[in-house]
Structure 1
Amino acid sequence: MDAGSMKAESRCPLQEQFLQRKNSKENLDRFIPNRSAMDFDYAHYMVTEGRKDKENNQAMSVCSPSKEAYRKQLAEVFNMNRTRILAFKNKPPTPVELIPEMHSSSASASSSVQQAKLNKPRRHIPQSSERTLDAPDLVDDYYLNLLDWGSSNVLAIALGSTVYLWDASDGTTSELVTVDDENGPVTSVNWAPDGRHIAIGLNNCQVQLWDSTANRQLRTLRGGHRSRVGSLAWNNHILTTGGMDGLIINNDVRVRDHIVETYRGHHQEVCGLKWSASGQQLASGGNDNLLHIWDRSMASSNSVTQWLHRLEEHTSAVKAIAWCPFQSNLLATGGGGGDRCIKFWNTHTGACLNSVDTGSQVCALLWNKNERELLSSHGFTQNQLTLWKYPSMVKMAELSGHTSRVLFMAQSPDGCTVASAAADETLRFWNVFGAPQVISKSAPKPNREPFAQLNRIR
């Protein structure tokens, strides 16, 4: 039996790893006190004089109950009733009155708003992954995009030449397609907005469209690229593809002649593609260290489309791209190992608003849909996920567990759970963005584009 078959038998795709983990409240063999939370004057008093005073006070209480009552009241006022000397937790922050008290209605309103902010409970961010699945044969290639979470709560991941679907609602796994060796491996996956249809980019420069519910292939997009298709992005019925040839192509999947626009601006592989929420602007990043912003209003099927902005501030490949959910013209991008920076852009003007050196390769970026937070995944040396507060870019948490670079991230439809796939061939799930918000309005009907009212596409 060869090594490959032994590996296939020992590790099944998307099977949960049952690792024995220590409970945070158990198996603790020592406690390390927090010096910053300790009162050393009180500790010195308790060690030296406290016992003597206690003995004297007990003798005095027999003769004078009033003195004993006075002593207890005095100890209460000066917080002398504490029994512990060592402290193991930080002191809670003292509320600071930011606005001086004023005798006016506006002042009282401001103080109540401030009090509401102070009373808001701090969200707990788990430091370990909620679940870990095996992902054998995951291709360790920074420039590919092999993970996506659809609106129907199904996660798609490409492992070698096979695309697997993992249903988050019940934890079941199914195999969608395995491509031939001459066409594989799979180089990109991306769900359509309807959560049913999925695009699969291949190493042979083609793109396949699949119906995941019926488990059948609808069509193959050919003739656009000359090399592998490593990035995909849907915009309603338009599927945008980015290739190693540097081309970006808009494909209308409803018609036979699917190529409707071609964007030329990158000199090397296009490894990052994201449409804005409005569908008006497209951000593309490449291995040529370039970031382009394209506008649909400038697109023309009769000529090569010119970019709106050509941004050259990154010094390494730009793969990590994320549009801000609460500000339509705000874009976050991350650079590769030679850059290590997260940059923020105003896509209307092309101005760089901020740049933060993360210290390691930025592989992927995701915005929190409910809070002003940004999550980044990284490579060497820590292979961690970092949660940042925006716009201060203060680190809120660092999530560790992967033992190799965290190449891909995907966000659940409710925006709360993040899946990360790394070169260590594991898929981890993190409850990093908190509980889902309760929505009072009735859920909108899913958009059935791009395949609505079509029985067959040739």
Structure 2
Amino acid sequence: MKMTHFQYLNDLNNLVKMDEITKGPLPRWQRKCLDESNTSLASNVSLNTTRGSKSSNGKTPREEEDPDLLSPSQREKQRIMTENLMGNEGEGRILAFRDKAPAPPEGYQNSMKVIYTQSKTPGSVKGSCRYISQAPDRILDAPEIIDDYYLNLVDWSANNLLAVALEAGLFLWNAGTGEVKQLLQLESQGEYVSSVSWLQEGTHLAVGVSNGTVQLWDAAQEKQVRTLTGHSGRVGSLAWNSYVLTSGSRSGHVHQHDVCGLRWSPGGRYLATGGNDNILNIWPAVGSGQIYSASNPLYTFSAHQAAVKALAWCPWQPNVLASGGGTADRCIRFWNCNMGTLLNTVDTRSQVCSLLWSTTYKELVSGHGFANNQIIIWKYPTMQKMAELTGHTARVLHLALSPDGTTVVSAGADETLRVWKCFQVDPAAAKKAATAASSSTSSSVSNILKRSIR
């Protein structure tokens, strides 16, 4: 029994006895001591092998004598490093181009460059960004409007009446009330209205007819005042200079060519005429009050390669004229008529049928035919496109500006009139202008009162 009990205790002691662990990770204190000793040893070895023990090629004597002692991976790394530093056969350099980089293709522009070179939007771009509606405010039917590049069939009066010629009839649309009434109807077979132009101030309307006559109408009284004769061909263009009316036709009455464009400059100093012979003439005004044109042109420009019908004088620079060419030309050109020089040329890539300047913004509107039948609003003088208005399914023959300068009407060969709100007045700017006008008026009244009291 005692022997059995003793054996039991002996077995129990053997079970709980902790033998020394000879395998597994070393304790942290032993690892730390070992790392320090290895570092010291490696430093000593490095110093001993560096001082005067390397040859001229940077190898230790042992490596130089027997490169086979290096492992394959070490030999490959050494080869790559030598090529990078010395090049093949010792002639190369790090990041050295053997040949010049190829030039980019013609017209290539890095679209990402702006992102990384401009930290903020330039002020000129900010100022040119404004909302322009891409849809017309309204669309009106214009049945039987004549699809003829050389005619001028739409004009907008200072009294907010839009005159539109539809073949043999002439209609007036009141843009304020929406009322439409017919002013005249030609009775002779085959005759049609070929041009219309309002007197700048007043209710008188000049109407050119295909038979070579010009009719003068009082729109307020709805009656014809007189008929002017002298042309032997249709009167395709009309322009007022104060109370003097100038007309142009195929008969060459204004000058020796077929006239399809005719515009007086603001103030009546110059008369611009464009012809089907691709010639643009500038005529000086002479005589009493500078209302009659001289017999010889001041300048003759032949840069256009097609008929010059679209003409428009800049309202804030009266000596600057914009002219547009037909399908073979497609360019808008700007002229300094004081100097007789070409200022700029812009290829619109479409037939230029009509031009007009904004009176509220420094912008130009162009109406186009082949190939896109669009309306473009340009920032002047940079000629940056502000908007491209589409919707007409045929060429935009005529443009007219409302008297308040906010609205453009376009007449297309698709027999529609489209009204566009292109130049809405900035409320802040309008308020500032009104305040300035009110202040000026108050100052004037105050001065008058002061003078009267004295």
TM-score bracket relative to the smaller structure = 0.5 to 0.7
Q: 2:319 aligns with which of 325, 329, 332?
A: 329
Normalised TM-score (structure 2): 0.66
Matched, 1:292 2:286: no
Matched, 1:96 2:120: yes
Change (3 A) 1:390 1:174: same
CA distance in 2, matches of 1:298, 1:162: 37
- The DSSP-based 3-state class of the residue aligned with 1:292 is strand
Q: Is the Cα–Cα contact under 8 Å of residues 173 and 181 in structure 2 kept in the other structure?
A: yes
Change (3 A) 1:344 1:118: closer
CA distance in 2, matches of 1:156, 1:368: 20
Q: Specify the alignment match of 1:272 in structure 2.
A: 261
Q: Is the Cα–Cα contact under 8 Å of residues 283 and 294 in structure 2 kept in the other structure?
A: no
CA distance in 2, matches of 1:118, 1:347: 30
- The DSSP-based 3-state class of the residue aligned with 2:260 is strand
Q: What amino acid does structure 2 have at the position aligned with 1:138?
A: I
- The DSSP-based 3-state class of the residue aligned with 2:281 is strand
Q: What amino acid does structure 1 have at the position aligned with 2:269?
A: Q
Residue 203 of structure 1 and its aligned partner are, at CA, apart by: 0.5
Q: Is the Cα–Cα contact under 8 Å of residues 95 and 118 in structure 1 kept in the other structure?
A: no
CA distance in 2, matches of 1:119, 1:385: 23
Q: Is the Cα–Cα contact under 8 Å of residues 394 and 414 in structure 2 kept in the other structure?
A: yes
- The DSSP-based 3-state class of the residue aligned with 1:296 is strand
**Within 5 A, what are the aligned runs for 1:351-430?**
351-430=341-420
1:36-60 deviation digits (Å, cap 9, x = unpaired):
xxxxxxxxxxxxxxxxxxxxxxxxx
Change (3 A) 1:128 1:244: same
- Larger proportion of helix: 2
Give the greater-gyration-radius structure (CA).
Answer: 2
1:360-414 deviation digits (Å, cap 9, x = unpaired):
1000011111222111110112100011111111111110000000000000001
Change (3 A) 1:353 1:169: same
Q: What amino acid does structure 1 have at the position aligned with 2:157?
A: G
Change (3 A) 1:121 1:373: closer
1:280-326 deviation digits (Å, cap 9, x = unpaired):
11111111101011111279999971111111110100000010111
CA distance in 2, matches of 1:220, 1:398: 41
1:49-92 deviation digits (Å, cap 9, x = unpaired):
xxxxxxxxxxxxxxxxxxxxxxxxxxxxxxxxxxxxxxxxxx9x
Q: What amino acid does structure 2 have at the position aligned with 1:228?
A: R
Matched, 1:221 2:228: yes
**Within 5 A, what are the aligned runs for 1:14-29?**
none
CA distance in 1, matches of 2:141, 2:127: 38
Structure 1: where are the runs of 5+ without partners?
1-90, 99-113, 249-263, 443-458
Q: Specify the alignment match of 1:177 in structure 2.
A: 184
CA distance in 1, matches of 2:318, 2:336: 9
Q: Specify the alignment match of 2:247 in structure 1.
A: 241
Matched, 1:306 2:296: yes
CA distance in 1, matches of 2:405, 2:155: 13
Q: Is the Cα–Cα contact under 8 Å of residues 298 and 306 in structure 1 kept in the other structure?
A: no
Q: Is the Cα–Cα contact under 8 Å of residues 367 and 396 in structure 2 kept in the other structure?
A: yes
Q: Is the Cα–Cα contact under 8 Å of residues 189 and 200 in structure 1 kept in the other structure?
A: yes
CA distance in 2, matches of 1:358, 1:118: 22
CA distance in 2, matches of 1:165, 1:395: 32
Q: What amino acid does structure 2 have at the position aligned with 1:294?
A: W
1:230-282 deviation digits (Å, cap 9, x = unpaired):
0000111100000111222xxxxxxxxxxxxxxx2x42x21111111111111
Q: Is the Cα–Cα contact under 8 Å of residues 398 and 412 in structure 2 kept in the other structure?
A: yes
Structure 2: where are the runs of 5+ without partners?
1-114, 439-454
Q: Specify the alignment match of 2:20 in structure 1.
A: none
Matched, 1:154 2:178: no
Q: What amino acid does structure 2 have at the position aligned with 1:282?
A: L
CA distance in 1, matches of 2:222, 2:293: 37
Q: Is the Cα–Cα contact under 8 Å of residues 125 and 432 in structure 1 kept in the other structure?
A: yes
Q: 1:143 aligns with which of 133, 146, 150?
A: 150
Change (3 A) 1:225 1:119: closer
Q: 1:197 aligns with which of 200, 204, 217?
A: 204
Change (3 A) 1:152 1:303: closer
**Within 5 A, what are the aligned runs for 1:71-90?**
none
Q: What amino acid does structure 2 have at the position aligned with 1:161?
A: A
CA distance in 2, matches of 1:419, 1:334: 19
Q: Is the Cα–Cα contact under 8 Å of residues 187 and 201 in structure 1 kept in the other structure?
A: yes
Residue 435 of structure 1 and its aligned partner are, at CA, apart by: 2.3
Change (3 A) 1:401 1:225: same
Q: Is the Cα–Cα contact under 8 Å of residues 340 and 360 in structure 1 kept in the other structure?
A: yes
Normalised TM-score (structure 1): 0.65
1:202-244 deviation digits (Å, cap 9, x = unpaired):
001000000111111100001x211110000011110000011
Aligned residues: 317
Residue 119 of structure 1 and its aligned partner are, at CA, apart by: 7.2
Residue 193 of structure 1 and its aligned partner are, at CA, apart by: 1.5
**Within 5 A, what are the aligned runs for 1:8-87?**
none
Q: What amino acid does structure 1 have at the position aligned with 2:390?
A: S
- The DSSP-based 3-state class of the residue aligned with 1:343 is strand
More moved, 309-318 vs 293-302: 293-302
CA distance in 2, matches of 1:406, 1:190: 18
Q: Is the Cα–Cα contact under 8 Å of residues 320 and 337 in structure 2 kept in the other structure?
A: yes
Q: 1:283 aligns with which of 272, 296, 310?
A: 272
Change (3 A) 1:205 1:289: same
Q: Specify the alignment match of 1:125 in structure 2.
A: 132
Q: RMSD value over aligned CA atoms?
A: 2.5
Q: Is the Cα–Cα contact under 8 Å of residues 183 and 204 in structure 1 kept in the other structure?
A: no
Q: Specify the alignment match of 1:454 in structure 2.
A: none
CA distance in 2, matches of 1:397, 1:131: 18
Q: Specify the alignment match of 1:206 in structure 2.
A: 213
Change (3 A) 1:118 1:304: closer
Change (3 A) 1:304 1:368: closer
More moved, 304-313 vs 291-300: 291-300
CA distance in 2, matches of 1:302, 1:194: 19
CA distance in 1, matches of 2:126, 2:409: 31
CA distance in 2, matches of 1:301, 1:335: 27
